[in-house]
Structure 1
Amino acid sequence: MSKFKEKEKATKLRKKGFSYSEILKKIPVAKSTLSLWLRSVGLAKEQKQRLTEKKLAAAFRGAQARRIYRLTITKEIKNKARSEIGKLSNRELWLIGIALYWAEGTKQKDYNISQKVKFSNSDPEMIKVFLKWLLDICSISKKDIHFRISLHKIAKNKLKTVQKYWSSVTGFKIDNFKGIDWKKHKIYTKRKNRGEKYFGLLNIYVRKSTNLNRKISGWTDGICKYCRVV
């Protein structure tokens, strides 16, 4: 094919909305040559739209590929990290529970030295670990553990679903989740856990646990002393 015919064909393809890369697949010339041939070729609205749609589609494919790559890498890292933990001893679980309560539990204050153990969180896995700590490490009886759910009023219509959810997470009967603390809904909120995945906040209470709370305070002091932060 002569250069003239190649240029003519390239011009027709461009006017149909073909991209440079598409044209180069059909007409094997240098990209600089093609650019020179087509620099004065105008595109109709439909052709511009076609090119825009192709760019968006390519960008979407690229984004999807990057997302799949990130998910793959994340899975590999998590699997390797999971295997690094191995089997936990009772002492290690004891220290984990102390750290959890230190972060998410209600502490005794000078103005309230009789504060009982109260732990609050919305993460089901963290709730499971803390309950295991109470039952297996601190030897707390199940009958001494009770719950209250903190829930936004906007989720009032899914109360039964929420109660069933926390019953399933904890392994306690649904009758243990009748206590509800209703929270006023804010129209403008930065909360991420909304909609179908919102199950409120679970508060775990331990009856007659004032002394346990005091022990936890002493344990955290011991950790601080060992780490030389006090």
Structure 2
Amino acid sequence: MIQKTKEKEEALTLRRNGMSYSEILKRISVARSTLSLWLRDVGLSQRQKQCLTEKKLKGMARGWANIRNRRIRKSEYIKEVARAEAEQLIIDPLWLTGVVLYWAEGGKERKWRTGEKVSFSNMEWRMHAIFLSWIFQYAGKGMNDLVFEIYIHESADIRLARKYWSRLLKIKPIELRIYLKRKNNNPHRHNINNEYHGLLRICVRRSVDLNRKIAGWIEGVVQYFSK
């Protein structure tokens, strides 16, 4: 009991000096709930509250910086391994074609847009056919890993577009999500006839690391042909 009383008095003193709960717990070994009970009636000055807020914000900033640095290190490692793989895979026509297509039409991770998943967008069904073969063979993905989205003008024949993409890529019509574009009164627009089926976007679930791997493959291809 005497020991607890001493710990409580020490905790009260530290709190009155403006220390945070976390800082106090590093010095006094008690449960956080006990500490909260001891300190519930201790008031802090406006300056002390401001200092605690600043400490909290700095701690959060350090935490985010550590997370960012770990992500960067992990990303660079994935890319390094992928660049080495590219030297062996580059003789495969399908692999090389898929890498180049993704370089041109795929979604990439940017410094200002991290955590980007794999996605491929185009209006040409044959490009999507190649992408699907490529992603199945070299990324180990299946149809259940994919999300299909059609972006199409509201004035177009949506039923026909669904049928078009479904038939050519062997996708169930119900799996095609529709996103309508607002009406465009541009008289020079050519996407208003039966040849227009919208733009198809294929997204791969849980594929942030795969996108980084593909980025490494692209870098490997560039290095190979830059020798």
TM-score, with normalisation over the residues of structure 1?
Answer: 0.56
Percent of aligned pairs sharing the same letter: 37
Give the structure 2 partner of residue 208 of structure 1.
206
Give the structure 1 partner of residue 71 of structure 2.
none
Secondary structure of the structure 1 residue equivalent to 2:171: coil
Report deviation, 1:134.
1.1
Question: What amino acid is aligned across from residue 119 of structure 2 in structure 1?
Answer: K
Give the structure 2 partner of residue 166 of structure 1.
165
CA distance in 1, matches of 2:147, 2:91: 24
Question: What amino acid is aligned across from residue 207 of structure 2 in structure 1?
Answer: S
Question: What amino acid is aligned across from residue 211 of structure 1 in structure 2?
Answer: D
Report deviation, 1:90.
8.1
Residues 163 and 110 (structure 1 numbering): CA distance in 2 closer, same or farther, change over 3 Å?
A: same
Contact 2:148–2:203 (8 Å) recurs in 1: yes
Q: Which runs of 4+ in 1 moved over 6 A?
A: none
Contact 1:90–1:137 (8 Å) recurs in 2: no
Structure 1 residues 27-38: aligned runs within 5 Å: none
Report deviation, 1:159.
1.3
Give the structure 2 partner of residue 46 of structure 1.
none
CA distance in 1, matches of 2:134, 2:193: 31
Give the structure 1 partner of residue 123 of structure 2.
122
Contact 2:148–2:175 (8 Å) recurs in 1: yes
CA distance in 2, matches of 1:92, 1:138: 16
Question: What amino acid is aligned across from residue 91 of structure 1 in structure 2?
Answer: D
Give the structure 1 partner of residue 102 of structure 2.
101
List gaps (5 residues or longer) in structure 2: 1-89
Q: How many residues align?
A: 138
Report deviation, 1:185.
2.6
Give the structure 2 partner of residue 182 of structure 1.
180
Give the structure 2 partner of residue 112 of structure 1.
113
Structure scoring higher RCO (CA < 8 A, sep ≥ 6) equals: 2
